[in-house]
Structure 1
Amino acid sequence: MSSLSISVDILARLRHETRAVHEALEQLPFNQALGNGTITEALTRQFLARLYGFVAPFEAQLQSKEELLGPAWELPRRYRAQLLRQDLPDTGTLPLVPELPPLATRAQLLGAMYVLEGSTLGGQVIARQLAKAGIPARAYFSGHAEQTGPLWKTFVGLLTQAATPDNADDIVASASLTFQRLHAWLEQAQP
């Protein structure tokens, strides 16, 4: 199988096989409030606090594994926990997720990164919805601003090159588990 055909297959598989868990995230109170126009400043802050509890430890783990990916991935440019620190007054008292998905292998990192990198695109949509609701802008949702699209395209290109018949199942499994763990964490009682 050529690398082009596996490249197309991995993206299609990721979208298809994570669709249900991805859609479950859209049913969380924050997303429902965005959709029905009842979003509040307090709910936005609670959601950001829960995100911090997942993103900060995930990025700390990712930093310790950077050698598994290499410099082409530009990981320091992709980190966004510092944006959550800008949005939240006191991250030192926020709870952190007790159990991240495993990030021991390159395939596990790629699957988990698919979820977190994809959230940069969703953040752009959320930023526009918050602006319409009159809620002040949040650095986290603005993410990489005009660089969001190009960084996503670079990530997708690297992901499709890295995917092989031998690691595709592990990449998809890691993405699914990351969505599941993120959903379980965000679903818990808000801080």
Structure 2
Amino acid sequence: MLSDKLKEETKTNHQILEKALVGQLKAVRTTQEYANLLKLFYGYFGGLETRINEVIDTNLLPDSTERRKTQAIADDIKALGGEAPDTATGDDLPTINIHLEALGALYVIEGSTLGGKIISKMMQQQLGLVTGFSFFAGYGEKTEQMWDVFKQALNRQAENPEQEAVVIAAANQTFLKFGEWFNKNH
């Protein structure tokens, strides 16, 4: 199945990004530092979602509009007293020109919801905050269900190894570009 291949084929880039993000998350000690971290997510995910929206086939992924994250991040930034920054553009983002590339990018975005509960709990403990966690809350109690629905849709999309390779390449590029964005802007 494509979702299993994606997990395996993106493992290295996922782990590199995760290590950088977890290190930064553990270092957060103030509300401002947390807001700044959210701004990094907003900038990258905002640009990424713009590209995805341009090519996603909503007939093949009917719940795609429910899967947008930038508004939740903007709400969190605002709740913490900040303003949402500009979003990434150009070479800061992966190439997303077709539906299959959009799926690869969405794999990264949707996968981020799984770790969100852990991150939310960690930030609440470190900062004593009760607000600013709608992004990391993901879909709340429906997070696992939404992930499963996404994986099922994903597994129906690619019809051959060449199409699978397009999705996998886009997911890897999304992880890599997010890491570059993170390193450049934090």
Classify the TM-score, shorter chain.
Answer: 0.7 to 0.9
2:72 matches 1:83:
yes
2:172 matches 1:176:
yes
Q: Aligned-residue CA RMSD in angstroms?
A: 1.8
Q: 2:28 is matched with which residue?
A: 39
Of 50, 53, 56 in structure 2, the residue corresponding to residue 60 of structure 1 is 50
Q: 1:139 is matched with which residue?
A: 134
Q: Which amino acid aligns with 1:114?
A: Y
1:55-97 CA-partner distances (Å, limit 9, x unpaired): 112222222223x242643111111111111111311xx2422
Measure the CA separation in 2 of the matches of 1:175 and 1:71.
Answer: 18
Shift of 1:34: 4.0
Structure 1 residues not aligned, in runs of 5+ = 1-6
2:150 matches 1:161:
no
Measure the CA separation in 2 of the matches of 1:59 and 1:189.
Answer: 19
Structure 2 residues not aligned, in runs of 5+ = none
Judged with a 3 Å threshold, the aligned counterparts in structure 2 of structure 1 residues 97 and 65 are, in CA distance, closer, same or farther, namely same
Conserved 8 A contact 1:14-1:172? yes
Measure the CA separation in 2 of the matches of 1:47 and 1:20.
Answer: 23
Measure the CA separation in 2 of the matches of 1:71 and 1:16.
Answer: 24
The number of residue pairs the alignment matches comes to 176
Conserved 8 A contact 1:61-1:103? yes
TM-score w.r.t. the length of structure 1 is: 0.83
| Superposition misfits of 4+ residues, deviation over 6 angstroms | none
Of 19, 28, 39 in structure 1, the residue corresponding to residue 11 of structure 2 is 19
Aligned-residue sequence identity (percent) comes to: 24
2:101 matches 1:111:
no
